[in-house]
Amino acid sequence: MNEKRYPWRTSIIKVEPGKMILRGYKVEDLIENLTFGEAVYLILKGELPQENHGKMMEAVLVSTIDFGIGAPSIATARIASSCGNFITTSVVAGLCSFGGTYHGGAVEGCVKMLRDGVQRMVDEGKKLDEMARIIVEEHKTLRRRVPGYGHPIHHERDPRVEKLFELAETYRVAGNHITLCKAVGRALDEAVGRHLTINPDAAIAAVGLDLGFDHRLIQGLNVISRCAGLIAHAHEEMMREKPFRGVGKDQILYDGPPERDLEAHSPHRN
């Protein structure tokens, strides 16, 4: 085959009249036999999940499906929906605010931290707790927050994280990345003198790595999950609330200069 004739290439899906082959399997067979989580696993990794990896994938997708109107991404989607947008537009608006440094984006940082940490344990011969303390100390030296730890509401425990880690043990998914994630949590608590809950960003990073996903894909798991919640909120907003949701006048404080005369201050005055 002359590849120069085909500027677009894909190993994901082949589509022909009356036939669709996804990662080598007939799509009708996948429809009949796979759960959504298993299908997501297949399309992202290229192979069917083995043993309980499909069940673990389902758990990951459910774990961050929604976090309420207080989450900026949800509020953004609802505001967009209140303007009369199509539901897809509202979901995209929400996603645009999901994945930044302070909302959803800690997954990327945590993936790198855990991936590098596990590799350094091998390369440098570091033990688990020693590596965890090094990670915390390095972040402290650089005056950076350790990504994936602490939560504005769940101060003592995050039920989503506890269940994900419990299932990871049950399904025999838990490996070095989950173990290091927990160890970093302990080291961080010791360093700051108080408990900082492991949040879902760290949990998804650790589980995704132990499932063997490419590190560049793991943030996408969070996005797939959150889309369902964004759709639900955008729909609820359009069905239950008045249009044109905005910030109330009683919530706005103007702190600029007082009213002033343009003629007196204009550089073009005579």
Task: Count CB neighbours of 15 within 10 A.
Answer: 11
On whether the CB atoms of residues 19 and 27 are closer than 8 A, the answer is: no
On whether the CB atoms of residues 53 and 41 are closer than 8 A, the answer is: yes
- Judged on CB neighbours under 10 Å (0-12, 13-18, 19+), 215 is middle
Q: How far apart are CA 43 and CA 50, in angstroms?
A: 14
Q: In the prediction, which pLDDT does 1 show? A: 58
Burial 20-54 (b: 16+ CB within 10 A, else e): eebbeeeeeebeeebeebbbbbbebbeebbeebbb
Looking at CATH, the fold of the domain delimited by 106-216 is given as Cytochrome p450-Terp; domain 2 (1.10.230)
- Judged on CB neighbours under 10 Å (0-12, 13-18, 19+), 76 is buried
| Tens-digit pLDDT profile for residues 97-118 | 998 888 888 999 999 999 999 9
Task: Count CB neighbours of 235 within 10 A.
Answer: 16
| Tens-digit pLDDT profile for residues 1-53 | 566 788 899 999 999 999 999 999 999 999 999 999 999 999 999 999 999 99
State which residues of the chain have pLDDT below 70: 1-3, 270
Q: How far apart are CA 44 and CA 218, in angstroms?
A: 10
Q: In the prediction, which pLDDT does 14 show? A: 98
- Name the residue ranges covered by the structural domains of the chain: 106-216
